[in-house]
Amino acid sequence: MIYKTKIFSPAFFVFSSICCCLLFFQACTPAKMPEPLVSLIPKPTNLNLHEGHFTLNKDTKIIVDPDEEGLYKIAGMLAIDIETQGGILPEVIQGKPQGTDLNYIHLTLSSPVDTLANEGYYLKVSGETIILAANDPQGMFWGSQTIRQLLPAQPTKVPLQIAALEILDKPRYSWRGMHLDVGRHFYPVSFIKKYLDYMAMHKMNTFHWHLTEDQGWRIEIKKYPKLTEIGSRREQTLVGHAGSQPYVFDEQPYGGYYSQEEIREIVQYAQDRYITVVPEIEMPGHSLAALAAYPELSCTGGPFKVAGTWGVFEDVYCAGNEATFTFLEDVLTEVMDLFPGAYVHIGGDESPKARWEKCPKCQARIKEEGLKDEHELQSYFIQRMEKFLNAHDKKIIGWDEILEGGLAPNAAVMSWRGMEGGIAAAEALHDVVMTPGSHVYFDHYQGEPSLEPLAFGGYTPLHKVYAFEPTPETLSKEQQRFILGAQANVWSEYIPTTEQVEYMIMPRMSALAEVLWTPAADRNWEDFMYRMQQQYRRFDAMGVNYSKSAFQVRHDIKVDSVHKEATVTFKSDAAGVDIRYSLDGSAPTPASRLYTVPFTLSESAIIKAATFQNDELMGQVTERTVDIHQAFGAPVTLSHPPHANYTGSNGSGTLVNGLAGSTTHTDGAWLGFLGVDLEAVIDLQSVKELSAIRTSFLQQPGAHIFLPAAVEYAVSEDGTIFNTIDSPSLSDAPAQGTLIQKYEATFPATKAQFIRVRAANVNALPWDKEQRKRSTWLFVDEMVVE
């Protein structure tokens, strides 16, 4: 514990006992717990509620230490927040509290707690005064955000009251980041400021601004005007998902960039909120927009167009050409002048080596420098850039591919392909920022994909973000110190509007903020959900277009094949709601059955469930089918095993467990086969009379999951001689995009004990004109036998 024990040891008992009570109540009756009196997000390290409150009135003043410009600005922003919420603009005075007039908020760097950490603060609200103390202006600013969250969420005409309390607070990590890709889609300065406001309210301190991409160069560079004249515009943009080929384009020119003046304005705006902006200039890959402007920097000489589709492109900067390095050093010189922070992000991810392999200049460089291969050439590239930036007192950070071929000596690593890159970097004693696709890619779906606007893919609901642990336990204590923190990445291929950005980041930013600020031991999902109720009201008051996907009901259905029963458990990521459901396929209403505890079904049902608050439907309705059919629970033999990542919740039994899969391919209801066909034989255990077989397949082109090329059903009485009963063919033009397709065969009543289902993996990308063989996924679910 860093705090002065002399002052705070008695209080610690109180703090810990409050935590225990909370835990106790939540464990007992989560749905019934009253909303907490204060709802701070991220949750402070230590909070002690007292009796009473401070009431703001027209005479309340904000007093700040003299000659502290930063504090004066913070006080000014706090005064405006108070005016917005309560209609009173407190006067800001520089000086010291004097006399007997106690009606003030005092912001001071002379802290009564002498061991406050960096960015930490101490807040004491009593009936007479509010004291906010910190060692540094950062801590003061985060403290002011706490005061803001202690105000009512919605503007009010009644006098503002702030609960009496004492808070000692400090962040767990120093890198609390949000990334934003403005290359695929471009957002105006006004929105970048909003984004920074959202970060500030969450005590997030690092804005990673992804400024260059294949689809657009977004930062003015005076020495290379064509970067923005040519590189910031594309002729057209892909419509729909990049997996849904053949491609369709909107035929609308698209572009935009930030002038250096605008960038300075944003950097200042961020600085005023104690947010560091980390600019990213991608190299050597994701650079098609720059190459469209300056094709001589490529291996082939071009010409190139700014990309209008999404993906990874083979044309990258030539690593054998000195002009590339001159160009990038010139660009970075202007970048360094614009961004005062310690770090410059140099990208480094997804840079194909195909051009380098064929380029005489690149090959000559490999020889000259005694490099082993193109990976070492990439390492040479990054190390050269690092030397240049280090010489100008800047540090580099790059995506985890910069580990390949040898890490630059002082580089920090941003681990995105899981945690492994970050672990390897920390083991090598390099700084790390964790941004794994599994937990913090906010371009992924946050609710059931079929109910969400088009997104990149994946499935990262609110509770999953909250469960993220940035520091791997496998690292030693010494190595763990290299984990600076984490951030969410917001890639914008499928995020064309600022409203959609808000939808993707909120409320997930709230969960991430707590992961990054609050001590791991104090994180509590139930408690967080309760505090989110107030946070949603704040978002409402701010006009944020946040996602309500957390209000969707998730169905957890366990099947007992022996007793032919299914037990249904519902969950949602929202507190303070009722879950109501129907079993007959009708839409749930406020009068539908109220869910209280898991229940058992022994008959087929179409389950529909939704959350309600004060009888108002809160999220979309989610649906699952339980089908207790003839093959329910029967043994199934597979000729090829499914891929280890997609073995379903119950192996081959998943195919006859009565549950239909959803469009979330990771929902445990699907078996996934990579590059192989499906052959399943169901043993009904005795000869039965059958008249229909129905099998579901998933298509999700973005994940290279395709419907089968052919399906064949056959039945047998003895398990040896099979008679083909129907071979449903693929429909002529398979629908595009994500969908579930059922293949049904109905036939005159037939006696059989064994049913064989075969499905051929397409093993080719439908849009590949040459139909080259490659491994694709075949996803199969429930085989219904009637």
In our burial notation (b when 16+ CB lie closer than 10 A, e otherwise), range 464-477 reads bbbebebbbeebee
Q: Which of residues 495-514 bind Zn ion (CB under 5 A)?
A: none
Q: Count CB neighbours of 751 within 10 A.
A: 10
**Cβ atoms of 380 and 367 closer than 8 Å:** no
Which residues, at least 6 apart from 355, have a Cβ–Cβ distance to it below 8 Å? 298, 299, 300, 314, 315, 316, 318, 362
Indicate the residue among 204 and 377 with the shorter CB distance to Zn ion.
377
Indicate the residue among 374 and 527 with the shorter CB distance to Zn ion.
374
Q: Which of residues 323-362 bind Zn ion (CB under 5 A)?
A: 359, 361-362
- # binding residues, ligand ACM (CB under 6 A): 4
Residue 365: CB minimum distance to Zn ion, A: 8
* Spatial CA neighbour of 662 closest among 693, 630, 631, 621: 621
Residue 235 a catalytic site member:
no
- d(CA 111, CA 71) in angstroms, rounded, equals 14
Residue 417: CB minimum distance to ligand ACM, A: 8
Q: Could you identify the residue written with the tokens 């591919």?
A: 401
Indicate the residue among 349 and 717 with the shorter CB distance to ligand ACM.
349
Q: Using CB distances below 5 to 8 A depending on partner kind, what does residue 362 bind out of ligand ACM, Zn ion, none?
A: Zn ion
Q: Which of residues 236-255 bind Zn ion (CB under 5 A)?
A: none
Q: Using CB distances below 5 to 8 A depending on partner kind, what does residue 350 bind out of Zn ion, ligand ACM, none?
A: ligand ACM
From residue 87, alpha-carbon distances to 104, 156, 158, 338, 542 in Å are 17, 8, 9, 37, 16
Q: Which of residues 676-705 bind ligand ACM (CB under 6 A)?
A: none
Catalytic residue, chosen from 265, 329, 350, 404, is: 350
Q: Could you identify the residue written with the tokens 């075949």?
A: 778
Q: Using CB distances below 5 to 8 A depending on partner kind, what does residue 399 bind out of ligand ACM, Zn ion, none?
A: ligand ACM
**Opening angle at CA 488, ends 136 and 313, nearest 5:** 130
Q: Using CB distances below 5 to 8 A depending on partner kind, what does residue 334 bind out of ligand ACM, Zn ion, none?
A: none
- The answer to whether the bond into 246 is cis (omega within 30° of 0) is yes
List the alpha helices (DSSP H) in 29-127.
Answer: 69-86
Indicate the residue among 23 and 354 with the shorter CB distance to Zn ion.
354
Which residues, at least 6 apart from 744, have a Cβ–Cβ distance to it below 8 Å? 692, 693, 694, 728
Indicate the residue among 416 and 595 with the shorter CB distance to ligand ACM.
416
Q: How many helices (H) and strands (E) does the chain have?
A: 18, 34
Among 139, 320, 421, 619, binds Zn ion (CB under 5 A): 320
Residue 415: CB minimum distance to ligand ACM, A: 10
* Spatial CA neighbour of 352 closest among 374, 370, 385: 374
Q: Which of residues 412-451 bind ligand ACM (CB under 6 A)?
A: 416
From residue 575, alpha-carbon distances to 22, 275, 374, 532, 533 in Å are 15, 31, 52, 8, 7
* Region of residue 485 (phi > 0: left; psi between -120 and 50: alpha; otherwise: beta): left
Residue 378: CB minimum distance to Zn ion, A: 12
Indicate the residue among 120 and 421 with the shorter CB distance to ligand ACM.
421
Q: Using CB distances below 5 to 8 A depending on partner kind, what does residue 230 bind out of Zn ion, ligand ACM, none?
A: none
Q: Which of residues 382-411 bind ligand ACM (CB under 6 A)?
A: 399
318 binds Zn ion (CB under 5 A): yes
Going residue by residue from 486 to 505, which x/- string records binding to ligand ACM, judged by CB under 6 A? --------------------
DSSP H or E segment with residue 115:
none
Residue 428's SS3 state is: coil
Residue 393: CB minimum distance to Zn ion, A: 30
Q: Using CB distances below 5 to 8 A depending on partner kind, what does residue 148 bind out of ligand ACM, Zn ion, none?
A: none
* Spatial CA neighbour of 327 closest among 402, 186, 227, 468: 227
Q: Could you identify the residue written with the tokens 């058992």?
A: 600
Indicate the residue among 74 and 297 with the shorter CB distance to Zn ion.
297
Q: Which of residues 650-709 bind Zn ion (CB under 5 A)?
A: none
Q: Going by DSSP bridges, is the β-strand pair 678-699/739-760 parallel, antiparallel, or unpaired?
A: antiparallel
Q: Using CB distances below 5 to 8 A depending on partner kind, what does residue 186 bind out of Zn ion, ligand ACM, none?
A: none
Q: Using CB distances below 5 to 8 A depending on partner kind, what does residue 318 bind out of Zn ion, ligand ACM, none?
A: Zn ion
Q: Using CB distances below 5 to 8 A depending on partner kind, what does residue 548 bind out of Zn ion, ligand ACM, none?
A: none
Indicate the residue among 487 and 662 with the shorter CB distance to ligand ACM.
487
Indicate the residue among 320 and 436 with the shorter CB distance to Zn ion.
320
- d(CA 470, CA 434) in angstroms, rounded, equals 6
Which residues, at least 6 apart from 210, have a Cβ–Cβ distance to it below 8 Å? 179, 180, 181, 182, 183, 280, 282, 345, 491
- d(CA 716, CA 394) in angstroms, rounded, equals 72
**Cβ atoms of 465 and 437 closer than 8 Å:** no
Indicate the residue among 490 and 559 with the shorter CB distance to ligand ACM.
490
Beta-bridge mates of residue 746:
692
Q: Across 289-415, where does the E strand assignment appear?
A: 343-347, 395-399, 412-415
Residue 320: CB minimum distance to Zn ion, A: 4
Backbone angles phi, psi at 716, to 5 degrees: -150, 150
Residue 321: CB minimum distance to Zn ion, A: 6
Q: Could you identify the residue written with the tokens 């109910």?
A: 451
Residue 443: CB minimum distance to ligand ACM, A: 9
Residue 464: CB minimum distance to Zn ion, A: 41
- # binding residues, Zn ion (CB under 5 A): 6
Contact region with Zn ion (CB under 5 A), list: 52-60, 298-306, 456-464, 647-655: 298-306
Contact region with Zn ion (CB under 5 A), list: 145-153, 173-181, 246-254, 310-318: 310-318
- d(CA 211, CA 277) in angstroms, rounded, equals 11
Indicate the residue among 311 and 340 with the shorter CB distance to ligand ACM.
311
Indicate the residue among 173 and 399 with the shorter CB distance to ligand ACM.
399
Which residues, at least 6 apart from 212, have a Cβ–Cβ distance to it below 8 Å? 183, 218, 219, 280, 281, 282, 286, 287, 289, 290, 347
- d(CA 728, CA 713) in angstroms, rounded, equals 8
Which residues, at least 6 apart from 71, have a Cβ–Cβ distance to it below 8 Å? 64, 65, 107, 109, 137, 140
Binding site for ligand ACM (CB under 6 A): 349-350, 399, 416
Residues that are catalytic: 350
Binding site for Zn ion (CB under 5 A): 299, 318, 320, 359, 361-362
